[in-house]
Amino acid sequence: MAMTNWFSQVAAVTGTAVRTIPQRRGSSLATVVGIAGVVAVMVAVLSIGEGFRKALRTAGSPDNALVLRAGSDSEMMSVLLGDAVEIIAQAPGVARGPVDGAAADAPLASGELFVVVDLPKRSTGTPANVPLRGVQPAAFSTRENLRIVEGRKFEWGRNELLVGEGAARQFRGLEVGSQLVWGRNEWTVVGIFSAGGALWDSELWTDARVLQPAYQRGNSFQTLIARLESPAAFDRFKDALTTDPRLDVQVLRETEYYGNQGRTLRAIIEKLGFGLAVLMGVGAIFGAVNTMYSAVAARTREIATLRALGFGSGAVVVSVLMEALLLAAAGGTLGAIGAWLFFDGYRTSTLNWDTFSQVTFAFDVTGALMIQGAIFAILLGLLGGLFPALRAARLPVTAALREA
């Protein structure tokens, strides 16, 4: 019975507090907007990391294995000689099928060469490192969802480029028909492809056999990507390569390799996002404190009267906190929705610290990030309403009746 009475008191006092918010709409609106700004910035910054992670995650397929030289952290640090690539392509577990310019029953394995070229960004004109990948014919059979959206594929043996649509949007000079000079060669852009937002959208592709002499790489590659007969064939494929005395390689699932990339950048972005949120949140807390102190001051006589009528101090504390949480929840919701409306899908590029080349990606404002923002807003509201609530509860009834 006592508990029911306490809840009734809380409901009555809270209801009165909420109904009087329009009378303090200036300070209340300032709190809502302040918290909304904090949440919007936090969610927007963290969505950069989510978008970057998504671009890398979608690059990997459970049906693919990636082979590097033993001890290499990334393909930039790896070297595979041509003879090794031939041995790896014929290993057990590699799927076979038709590929461009080859027999109908060829191994679906592509030895690949990775170099970095300079191109100006469209937005600023500043030079950026853009990945140029030399591939073998099976490359188009090892990537899922890759399709030509403009122009055509490059012809094998010619100085032609196929450009990812992300790179085409972010960097200048990559329109179909453009002429570019890198290494010892002049290159012609003949087509643009889409990989559904995956890492490949950031790259330029050409024939590995043409890229090798242009950069004096001889008969060497850096990685090999193999389509397996099934994900279960991975162990058989790996065991065959790591026990072959002719090879010195490490074998990873493609999903594992790309899942591990970008950890440095994601960690920086997460620290930046939460750091900015905390710094801005301090200001939002002070704003909430001022708002709630103003609310308590405006309701001093009302609170004192309720206390005199037998309402407990706990009900007063809860009512002030509930008002603060209501304003914080409104601000958090507004900020999260604003971040989603203005930033979700916004495309940009940044440096992949593992390959020192640009990766194009889209901001990804996920539901989980929006929930994080709402939780952070509620925390700000609790901190902002705590001290005003305690003051309201501790104010002597006789003194309160003389105030305001």
Tens digit of each residue's pLDDT (9 = 90 or more) over 29-50 = 877 888 888 889 889 888 888 8
Evaluate whether residue 255 is within a structural domain. Answer: no
Both 86 and 232 in one domain: the answer is yes
Q: Please, what is the Cα angle at 366 between 362 and 369, to 5 degrees?
A: 115
Evaluate whether residue 258 is within a structural domain. Answer: no
Both 343 and 370 in one domain: the answer is yes
Both 199 and 114 in one domain: the answer is yes
Evaluate whether residue 257 is within a structural domain. Answer: no
Tens digit of each residue's pLDDT (9 = 90 or more) over 4-25 = 565 666 666 666 566 666 666 6
Both 327 and 362 in one domain: the answer is yes
- Contact in structure between 381 and 329 (CB atoms under 8 Å): yes
Evaluate whether residue 253 is within a structural domain. Answer: no
List of E strands, 215-291: 220-221, 223-227, 249-253
Single-letter residue type at 108? L
CA 81 vs CA 114, 244, 247, 298, 384: distances in Å:
14, 15, 10, 79, 63
Domain end point (choices 190, 215, 247): 247
Evaluate whether residue 329 is within a structural domain. Answer: yes
Rounded-to-integer distance, Cα 217 and Cα 11, Å = 76
CA 6 vs CA 47, 139, 398: distances in Å:
43, 70, 23
Evaluate whether residue 75 is within a structural domain. Answer: yes
Rounded-to-integer distance, Cα 224 and Cα 55, Å = 20
Both 242 and 276 in one domain: the answer is no
Both 182 and 269 in one domain: the answer is no
Both 240 and 156 in one domain: the answer is yes
Residue position matching structure tokens 């950048």: 265
Evaluate whether residue 256 is within a structural domain. Answer: no
Both 316 and 220 in one domain: the answer is no
Domain range spanning residue 187?
A: 71-247
Number of domains in the chain: 2
- Whether the model clears a pTM of 0.85, i.e. scores above it, the answer is no
Both 268 and 372 in one domain: the answer is yes
- Contact in structure between 192 and 162 (CB atoms under 8 Å): yes
Evaluate whether residue 64 is within a structural domain. Answer: no
Rounded-to-integer distance, Cα 139 and Cα 214, Å = 20
Domain end point (choices 247, 280, 304): 247
- How are beta strands 185-194 and 160-164 bridged, if at all? parallel
- Contact in structure between 64 and 259 (CB atoms under 8 Å): no
Q: Please, what is the Cα angle at 261 between 61 and 230, to 5 degrees?
A: 20
- pLDDT beneath 50, residues of the chain: 1, 404
- Contact in structure between 388 and 296 (CB atoms under 8 Å): yes
Both 138 and 279 in one domain: the answer is no
Domain end point (choices 218, 247, 276): 247
Instruction: Give 217: exposed, middle or buried? Use CB within 10 Å, 0-12, 13-18, 19+.
Output: middle
Tens digit of each residue's pLDDT (9 = 90 or more) over 86-117 = 999 999 999 998 887 666 678 999 999 999 99
Both 76 and 49 in one domain: the answer is no
At 146, is the secondary structure helix, strand, or coil?
coil
Both 136 and 271 in one domain: the answer is no
